[in-house]
Structure 1
Amino acid sequence: MLIYVHVRVPPLCLWIWLPSDLLYEIGKHLQSPKDYVRFCATCKSWNMNLLKTPNHIRGPLLVFPFSHETYAIKEENDFYLRLPEMQNNILLRGSCFGWLIRTSIDGVVQMFNPFTNVSYDLPPFSTIPTIVDYHPELKDQEYTIMQYGLFDCSTYTTLQSKSSIQKTWLTKIVISSSPSEDFMALAIYGEYNRLAWCKFGDTKWTNFSTLEMFKIVLKDVMFYEGKVYALNCDAQLY
């Protein structure tokens, strides 16, 4: 025996007035960035009330370059996106919580969400602790770098170009969460892969300095349950 149930669906004009807390609850169950963006785009009211960068869509993203002339979003977990922002001497230095972290040859460090087009600036190259001066008007010698002797505490300065600094001086950035007031970023930087940090809204990088950290060369770093974990070249965990 077949039973037919008639369900009366409210017209669209009523859906747009759903309470914000109910919208948030629905959005929390959308794990795909593609589905969440479509959900936000349902109407102007929903787009204004929903978070543009929800914390529950965490990533990370694995990025592959490609050069097709046409772009589409597949129905699986692969996303083909045209990102003109990633051209012209842009390098990726991290991927966390659905954000890409990119650096430009002009020293700009920026977080960029490829699905929402929201971006936030992090402190620029010129504020990294071992960079003591920046002269953008000079050619091939824009940065003055403070470097340390390998076997003693001696210091000396060298001049380096902005292309060299972009490629070698900042190798990885990780973030503690999507941008918010309690957000924090960590960067592996410099000749001996040391750590620097910044908080949301900071204008410069601050050295993450302890005597023990000064003696090791880092390969990786991550946030986990409110703590910072770092891995050195010998696979020792700090």
Structure 2
Amino acid sequence: MDLLYLILSKLSIPDLFRCAAVCSRWFVLVDEVCRSHDDQHPQIPWLVPESRIHINGENNVRNTYDFFSLSEDREYDIPSHPPHILKKIVGSSYGWLITTDKVSIAQLINPITGVQIDLPSIPTMHNWNLEARKAVLSSDPSRCGDYKVVFVFFCLHELKNFLFFVSAGDEKWTMIPERLYYYANIAFHDGKLYAVSKSKENKKLIVGAYDLSVPNSIPTRVRVADLPYIKNFTFSMCFFCTSSDDLLIVRATIEKVSEHHLKKIKVWKVDTNNGVIIPMNNLGKYALFIGLTSSLCLDTSSLPDLKSNSIYILNYLGESVVYNMEDKSFTSLNLPLLSSPMRPVLVWFTLSCAF
């Protein structure tokens, strides 16, 4: 049984669940693997549409999450749990989907285990509704009870973004007061929240850090570094990726609207101690997965199906490609429609069966 446990701990989660159906003894062992966080094998990311429709009226016809397994090249329909409402995924961390509805509901959902955690109702700004643009988790709620959730909200009335966070068990949101009006991306690293942001007075992109660990205090931004300014570009987006040791920034740039294709990919490592960013030309054994609402950095040593030293770029202005850091080439990533007549915005999602 010890040998079987060792084998099970090296399987993908779909194969793990298939093994649980063999017999009662295997089911018990699979349950033990799921409850042991440190023994679970790294998982190749899945894809899930940003929004989905549930049975809650005559216009809604489905009650499942539609996932696509990159390694198996197949779709999975996973039943959802009440409430069956239209939800939008604004983030994905540690095997949890961070979701909102059109008005006020915000939740953390693990679609594999079915666990849901309700967050406080979405705040308003001077009685104006806020739209969630992106959200991140500080840690895995299934492993610790002191996690935090940070949201980037957009206020249409003020044409400005706002940062709000909530700690586990809080009944209301805390706003981080800032003069900045735009947040390109946010991420947790080494216990702090990092943001790539911009002020109206200065067009430079600023990398700032916020310490959210001090109770009953309003976090202030510590300026870490500035990103190089680029001229004559049409569209540019920045993404954070974090490994166990490093905080990385990826910038993807389109130079001409008529071409509508990615032309430049730049990667920097953020030296948080010295306040500088260091250009990177090689990711080594790592692969990055970046998208509008989620980004990942994975060690490919135990995941041979992934391309090391590469960046998987998802649904960036309609494109899904793999960028090779070595020869600077782009390869199309063919993805399914996932039960939609139009290609939806997709989100990277790493599975977790942890309880």
TMscore range, shorter length:
0.5 to 0.7
Letter in 2 for 1:231: V
Question: What aligned pairs does 1:165-180 form with structure 2 within 5 A after superposition?
Answer: 165=129, 169-179=131-141, 180=144
1:61, 1:98 within 8 Å by CA — same for their partners in 2?
A: no
Q: How many residues in Structure 1 have an aligned counterpart in Structure 2?
A: 179
Pairwise CA distance, 1:106: 5.2
Larger radius of gyration: 1
Structure 2 distance, partners of 1:92, 1:198, is: 18
1:186, 1:197 within 8 Å by CA — same for their partners in 2?
A: yes
Map of 1:222 onto structure 2: 187
TM-score (norm 1): 0.58
2:98 to 81, 97, 101: 101
Structure 2 distance, partners of 1:185, 1:80, is: 28
Question: What aligned pairs does 1:8-157 form with structure 2 within 5 A after superposition?
Answer: 15=1, 29-30=10-11, 32-38=12-18, 43=24, 45-46=28-29, 49-51=32-34, 54=37, 61-64=46-49, 76=72, 78-85=74-81, 88-105=85-102, 107-125=104-122, 128=123, 131=124, 145-146=125-126, 157=127
1:116 is paired with a residue of what secondary structure? Answer: coil
Structure 1 distance, partners of 2:183, 2:68, is: 37
Q: Which has the higher helix share?
A: 1
Higher relative CO (CA 8 A, sep ≥ 6), structure 1 or 2? 2
Map of 1:189 onto structure 2: 153
2:117 is paired with a residue of what secondary structure? Answer: strand
1:58, 1:97 within 8 Å by CA — same for their partners in 2?
A: no
CA RMSD in angstroms comes to 3.9
Letter in 2 for 1:205: W
Pairwise CA distance, 1:49: 4.2
Pairwise CA distance, 1:216: 3.9
Deviation by residue 1:189-214 (Cα, 9 ceiling, x = unmatched): 142212111222222211123xxx33
Letter in 2 for 1:197: F
Change (3 A) 1:217 1:73: closer
Change (3 A) 1:208 1:52: farther
Any stretches of 5+ residues in structure 1 without a counterpart? 1-14, 132-144, 147-156, 159-164
1:203 and 2:167 correspond: no
Change (3 A) 1:58 1:47: closer
Tell me the percent identity: 26
Pairwise CA distance, 1:226: 1.8
TM-score (norm 2): 0.41
Structure 2 distance, partners of 1:214, 1:102, is: 27
Pairwise CA distance, 1:59: 7.2
